[in-house]
Structures are given as structure tokens and as C-alpha cells.
Structure 1
Amino acid sequence: MDLSLVIPVFNEADNILELAAEVDRAMEGSDLAWECVWVDDGSTDATADRLHIVSAKDPHNRHRYLRFEKNAGQSAALWAGFRHARGRLIATLDGDGQNDPRDIPRLVDMLHRKDYDMVNGYRAKRHDSMVRKISSRIANAFRNWVTGKTVRDVGCSTRVFRRECVADLPPFKGLHRFLPTLVALQGYRITETPVAHRPRRKGVTKYGVHNRLWVGLLDCFGVWWLRRRAFHYRIVQVFPEERS
């Protein structure tokens, strides 16, 4: 398996069918062997029913889904998706339809051509409310100041990376806000590129100032501690050689 797209969703029933069709069209011309792993984060609407329709009607069995017993948060959903992904590369998208799946093949190509470990998108033209734009700018600036600058838009979910980048990440609530930072801490090479961002067409946002900005700022100090205490090493010899 070349690529696994991981899409966490919570009460996004109205977006599932359209987004799944967009993923199919975006990957249609690709030579990649791919799958799409949806993670239903304890939805209370018809999200699970829509995911079952997408998976059951997929003739190539590319769409799979996991269901949480109850809501555990976006970080837990991504964590579970990463561990059920079978691809050598992993891509992420939000389930609200604001990310464009057509960006994914380009990011995969960029990763291969320039030999990076992660290609992170940034939303050059955001289609959000002014409150969300301002809170995002504050959070990004503060996050980069505290944890060290990695990318300009940590909150953008359009990204592609090698699966080893997330194999050993510490599981914690808020993990999704620091993926590029945590990947960079391990010594992996990251670059960024502009990606499309679209207005939300259906459903309602799950984040606001109180559950996004303030919590995210607090988490920065935990990641700052990890960064200050991180160590790196490279083994140049093992003797006698280990045998499997």
C-alpha cells in the first residue's frame, strides 16, 4: 500500500458522501495504491450510516472506517487512524470539506521529488470567520514562539508524511495541533506548500475560541518541555551484528 488517507469525522453526516466522491476523483488518475481510513469520533448523527454506505458501495474496498464508542477528540481519532493505516505514506484531511483532496497527489509528488519526510500545507487564502482567522494567527504565532518555528500553519490538516514520522509520537489530547513540531523534534525533514481552503458548505464547526485557542496555548508548554528535553543520536556501529 502506497498511501493511506486518514480523515477524522465528528457529526459530519452531510459532508461524508460528497467528500468521499472527491477523494475518489482526486486519486483516480494516480498510480498510487491507496486507501481512505475514516475515523468516526463517536458521532451522534448519521455519520456512521454514511460511512457504511461509502464503504459498502466501494467496489475496490478502498474506503474503511473505524467507530469510537464515544467522542474522544480529534487527536485520538488521528492516533487510531495512523495505527490502522497500511500505507507507506499517510495523508490527512479534515472531514468538514474545507480541505481539497486534489492537493494530496501534488504533496505526494513533492515529497518524493525533493526527498522530504513531511510536506505540510498552509492555507494561503482562508475561508473562515474573522474570529477564527485571528485566533488561528495568535495560536500559530505563540506556538512557534514557545516550541520553535517549524511551519507557518500548524493548524492546516492537508499534509503528507512517511508513516515512520508518527510511529513513536506520545499520545495526548492536543496532539493534532503539534504534528509538524513533534515530527521535526525527531529529526525528520519538513517543507510546506500552499494548499486550497474552502468555505464550510454543510454542518457546523466544532471549534471556537474557548475550546481551540486557550487549550492550544496551554498545550504549547508541554511541547516546549518535550523540545527542551529531547535527545538525538545516530548509531554508527553494532558489534557483533544483531541477527533476526
Structure 2
Amino acid sequence: MQEGYSVVVPVFNEEGNIALLYKELSTVLKSLDLPYEIIFIDDGSTDNSLQEIKILTSKDVSVKYISFKKNLGQSAALKSGFQHCKYSVTITMDSDLQNDPADIPGLLQFYGEYQMVNGWRKNRRDNFSKKIGSKIGNFVRNLFVHDNIKDTGCSLKVMDTAMLKRIKIYKGLHRFLPVLMMSEGAKVKEVPVNHRQRMHGTSKYNNLGRAFAGLYDLICVRWMVKHQINEEIKEKNV
């Protein structure tokens, strides 16, 4: 696998944010002095998001895209992006501009010693309901899987691509990437990052729907982690 950065960006109806995100993100990536690609995953957008992405691909060969026929959710978008990453380090972020691309170099400072660096939105720019819902969700998740992550919902993450490609991603399991990476042997660190106000578009999530889906997914992940086989080979001749 080539050394460099693959940035996976799920998109669902974010036409007002894509061009500005690309401008900020490409500026940061160019400063890192390694090859990179930006993979936009259009998750069945019904606005002009795909057209905006295609304009970028016509101007910059480092920009790639995958477009779904219908909306399948963030887990499906990330899974598809991960399958197409060609560089050794995968970076994920949202397309709504609340994640700040300028935080990427700070996360990369810890990459190497750690195989996953997870952003922590220490000062979230969301409404009170979303903040409380997130705190409760993180507390309950930690009770079950003991990953000690304060903000698994932060989309800004840096991960080892080879490890990431070994993980089976099912619907809803993108919320549990830290514990799934840990199950592959990754050391995980959480780093405070900037979180910005949403300027265009609307949030695609509500706390009630996420709570019910999250509890079911949590039970599944708990089972997966508990029953994972980690063989310790004494010797071999293969």
C-alpha cells in the first residue's frame, strides 16, 4: 500500500458546503508533502451535491467520488470509501464544515505511536439536546465496551488503512470504530479538535432515532468484541 492519505467524506445534501470544504481540505493536504486522494461518497443526495463533486473531479485528479442510487446511511458510505482507499492512512470527516480540516496535522502528530487518532469535540457547537444525547450515548457505550472514548461520534479520525480494511462494517457500526479498531490491535488516542457552527444545510440526525438504533448496535458490538478470536501462535511453518 502506498504511503499517503486517503480522505473519505460522506455527503448527503450538502451542496452549500462542498466547494468550501474542498478548498480548505486541499490546502491542508498539500502542506503535508505526501500523495493524497479525497473520496466523496454521495449517499443518494437529492440536491446538487453530486454535480458540485463532479465539478471538482474535472479540475483535480486527486478528487474521486462514488454515488449511491439511494440514501443508505453513513456506515454504508464509509464502508464503500474504505474499500477504495489506496493510501496507508485513512482520514474521515463530515461534509457539513463542522469538522475543521486545519485540525488534521495536529491529529497526525500522534499517528504512528497510535494507529487511530480520534477527534474529541470538547467544545461542541450543537444545541443542548444533541450535546446531552451524545453524553448519554457515550456514557452507556463505555459501560458496555469500555473503550474510554469521550466522543466516538466525532467524524474527524485518522486511521491505519490496512487495519481498517479488515473490519467488517455493518449498518450503524461506524459509531463504534474506536473499539473495532482496538479489536484489530490498534492503539487509540483521543485529541481535542475544533467544532464549528453549521453554516449551510440542516442536520440529518435526531436523538430519539439514534438512541434506539444505537442500543441495538451496542449489543451487537459487545457480542462481537466478547467473542472475537485472538489466537497466539507459538510457531508455524507456512
TM class by smaller structure: over 0.9
Q: Distance in 2 between matches of 1:39 and 1:142?
A: 30
TM-score, length-scaled by structure 2 = 0.95
- The 8 Å contact of residues 41 and 67 in structure 1, kept in 2 or not, is answered as yes
Q: Which residue of 2 aligns with 1:29?
A: 31
Q: Which residue of 2 aligns with 1:86?
A: 86
Task: Give the SS at the match of 1:178.
Answer: helix
Task: Give the SS at the match of 2:7.
Answer: strand
TM-score, length-scaled by structure 1 = 0.93
Equivalent residue letter for 1:187:
G
Task: Give the SS at the match of 1:121.
Answer: strand
The offset of 1:217, in angstroms, is 2.0
Q: Which residue of 1 aligns with 2:12?
A: 10
The offset of 1:173, in angstroms, is 0.7
Task: Give the SS at the match of 1:90.
Answer: strand
- Which deviates the most, 207-216 or 116-125? 207-216
Equivalent residue letter for 2:50:
A
Pick aligned residue for 2:22 from 11, 20, 23? 20
- Which deviates the most, 103-112 or 123-132? 103-112
C-alpha RMSD over aligned residues: 1.2
- The 8 Å contact of residues 121 and 156 in structure 1, kept in 2 or not, is answered as yes
Equivalent residue letter for 1:210:
L
Give the length in aligned residue pairs: 236
The offset of 1:124, in angstroms, is 1.1
Q: Distance in 2 between matches of 1:55 and 1:34?
A: 14
Deviation string 1:81-137 (CA, Å, 9 cap, x unpaired) is: 00111110000001111001111122123213xx21111110111000000001000
Q: Distance in 2 between matches of 1:232 and 1:69?
A: 38
- The 8 Å contact of residues 150 and 181 in structure 1, kept in 2 or not, is answered as no
Q: Which runs of 5+ in 2 are unaligned?
A: none
Equivalent residue letter for 2:109:
D
Task: Give the SS at the match of 1:198.
Answer: coil
Equivalent residue letter for 2:168:
P
Task: Give the SS at the match of 2:220.
Answer: helix
Q: Which residue of 2 aligns with 1:117?
A: 115
The offset of 1:236, in angstroms, is 4.6
Matched, 1:99 2:116: no
- Moved beyond 4 Å, runs of 4+: none
Deviation string 1:38-66 (CA, Å, 9 cap, x unpaired) is: 100011110000000111112xx111111
